[in-house]
Structure 1
């Protein structure tokens, strides 16, 4: 059953009770990475293996993941080519109360350093599951960034 989450802003990324932060370098330029993140929403399903469908909505996106997880999101910041951030407004994830994600892009070695932060709040059980999921979420992030870099090179 889907439920509405507490609306949060970009400041939540730095203050959330649970923060999962990952970084990786890519060969692609920041402008190309930003375009893939913020402007080619349907393309997410091509490089982020957990995403089965992604479609833009007015002011946000609708995301579906393998296993049936759904998100209705609002874009909080889209400042090319440095920041793309969004919050989850509605999800079917049990125990979630607030959720935002932020992608920060910076030039690095002829390519891009990508830093992604998950900012989360929820029930005690939800927060524990998020902390325990850190290794898997990190692996999914690394695999997605690697696949996106290959896609942008091709």
Structure 2
């Protein structure tokens, strides 16, 4: 037990009261500092947090309809195609004119936003044309890679126009 009294109190009781008030004042000061720090941290977090994003479904272009395409590499090929669409899936049939031959074709692919990937296979003289197209207002243009059954491959550009929507 200390031999002297703390604070300004002249009796042990008065000294305890002074000590209790000083301790309470320190607790309140510490509590205020902690609250101010927590408040500043919460404010800082609130200012830097981004609002929750809502997942938007990608916008799909409607490509269902009759199409006419020019495929251009060292020669020009013309094709007509009837495309159907189910969500992002695209498929159809048509004809390709390659030189003096007209061949049946089938097509399948996908569309998302303003892009369409389309694989076109010809029968008879078997070839595969893989088109990567950007879609516009009833137009499509881009590049393609082609493969023949004999192992040849080539690339070119594609330009298409929707002739009648479905």
Normalised to the residue count of structure 1, the TM-score between the two structures is: 0.40
Higher strand content, 1 or 2: 2
User: Does 1 or 2 have the higher relative contact order (CA < 8 Å, sep 6+)?
Assistant: 1
Larger radius of gyration: 2
